[in-house]
Amino acid sequence: RKIVPTGGDGGRGGHVIFKASNQAPKIEKLKLRQHIVAESGAHGGSNNKKGRKGKDEIILVPPGTRIYNRATRMGIRDLKNDGDEVMVARGGAGGFGNEGGRKQTTGIKGDRLEVELEYFLVSDIFLVGLPNSGKSQFMGAITNAQVPVTDYPFSTRYPAVGAYEYDGYKQMFICEMMSVSKTSREGHGLGVEFLRQLVRAKVIVLFLDAVTEFADSVKDGLNDLSEILKEYAPEEARYELCTVVNKIDATDKMKEIKKSLAKAGMPVFYISAKDKEGFEPLLEHLTKTCEARAHESLIG
């Protein structure tokens, strides 16, 4: 009697996959999971029984997360939108069984990779402005964001994203960043490091007020903001700039102010967030600029 071997193939190991999801926990939670290993494939069995494949390990991250190869610092994928996913480590192939007298092999080891994750805010427009200049007031006036307005500076301590809806069905996202002023470089207020976050900005609005508690003049305030941005915004960011001067209701020096900004080299808008004045040309400019660059949201 001839004995025919019947060892089935082993199952493949599970893959490790990162997936962007609006239901993901905050990215800090992943610090608790330093090592992520997908399940191994099961051994094959007699009677040509194939081993079960290992379960994939799918890690949910917030949309806006970038994944880098730690060793090369090369970007692997920008998981920008809900549902985007990338396999960072392929599960090993299962070995062949000796079924029918074929040569039996061991499986191939799965990938091992060290990755780094970095989260970048997702928004079309970012407000970068002087303390107490009325950014939160403006957010509250045009978006659904709930940002407290206070009469003291640096009260906004986290970036706040809100949607501005227009034309009945369209929307653009606006993000109020924490305030900066000329002393921020020395660590005053909330510093400047958070400006790294501006990678995805289509428009950065330099936001000032006509009363200028935190600059020597409106013109100086604009220079302070421009310089800080030049120094600390990420080099790869490709944003357009415009300026907003708020609180036009609270000064009688508008003529001088407008004159001083005549050569600002970018569009300048004058508004009162409190009285909802001057919004129309500003919002038209912002929506037009974002729409013209809408296709870019598909690229990283």
Ligand X SMILES: Nc1nc2c(ncn2[C@@H]2O[C@H](COP(=O)(O)OP(=O)(O)OP(=O)(O)O)[C@@H](O)[C@H]2O)c(=O)[nH]1
Q: Which helix (H) or strand (E) holds 127?
A: strand 125-129
Nearest to 65 by CA among 181, 221, 160, 199: 199
Q: Which residues pair with 73 in a beta bridge?
A: none
Q: Closest distance between Mg ion and the C-beta of residue 21, in Å?
A: 29
Residues 120-159 touching ligand X, rule: CB under 6 A, are 129, 131-137, 149-151, 153-156
The count of other CB atoms within 10 Å of the CB of residue 184 is 25
For residue 118, give the 3-state DSSP assignment: strand
Per CB under 6 A, the segment of 22-30, 196-204, 252-260, 266-274 that binds ligand X is: 266-274
Q: What size, in residues, is the chain?
A: 300
Measured between alpha carbons, how far is 80 from 149 in angstroms, rounded to an integer? Answer: 30
Size of the site for Mg ion (CB under 5 A): 3
Using CB under 6 A as the criterion, what x/- string covers residues 56-95 for binding ligand X?
----------------------------------------
SS3 content of the chain, % helix, strand, coil (to 5): 25, 25, 55
247 lines the binding site for ligand X (CB under 6 A): yes
Q: Closest distance between ligand X and the C-beta of residue 188, in Å?
A: 12
Q: Closest distance between ligand X and the C-beta of residue 118, in Å?
A: 25
The count of other CB atoms within 10 Å of the CB of residue 237 is 18
Choosing among Mg ion, ligand X, none, which partner's interface includes residue 243 (Cβ < 5 to 8 Å by kind)? none
Q: Closest distance between ligand X and the C-beta of residue 181, in Å?
A: 9
Question: Which is nearer to Mg ion, 62 or 134 (by Cβ)?
Answer: 134
* Terminal-to-terminal C-alpha distance of the chain: 65
Binding ligand X by CB under 6 A: which of 37, 71, 108, 250?
A: 250
| Complete DSSP assignment for 209-276 | ETT-TTSSSHHHHHHHHHHHHHHHS-TT---EEEEEEE-GGG-S-HHHHHHHTTT-SS-EEE-BTTTT
Binding Mg ion by CB under 5 A: which of 98, 123, 133, 136?
A: 136
* Dihedral (Cα; 56, 57, 59, 60), 10-degree rounding: 40
Q: Closest distance between Mg ion and the C-beta of residue 139, in Å?
A: 8
Question: Which is nearer to ligand X, 156 or 212 (by Cβ)?
Answer: 156
Q: Closest distance between ligand X and the C-beta of residue 290, in Å?
A: 22
Question: Which is nearer to ligand X, 199 or 271 (by Cβ)?
Answer: 271
Nearest to 159 by CA among 116, 203, 129, 118: 129
Size of the site for ligand X (CB under 6 A): 23
Residues 143-172 touching Mg ion, rule: CB under 5 A, are 156
Using CB under 5 A as the criterion, what x/- string covers residues 80-119 for binding Mg ion?
----------------------------------------
Residues at the contact surface with Mg ion, assessed by CB under 5 A: 135-136, 156
What residue ranges bind ligand X (CB under 6 A)?
A: 129, 131-137, 149-151, 153-156, 179, 246-247, 249-250, 272-274
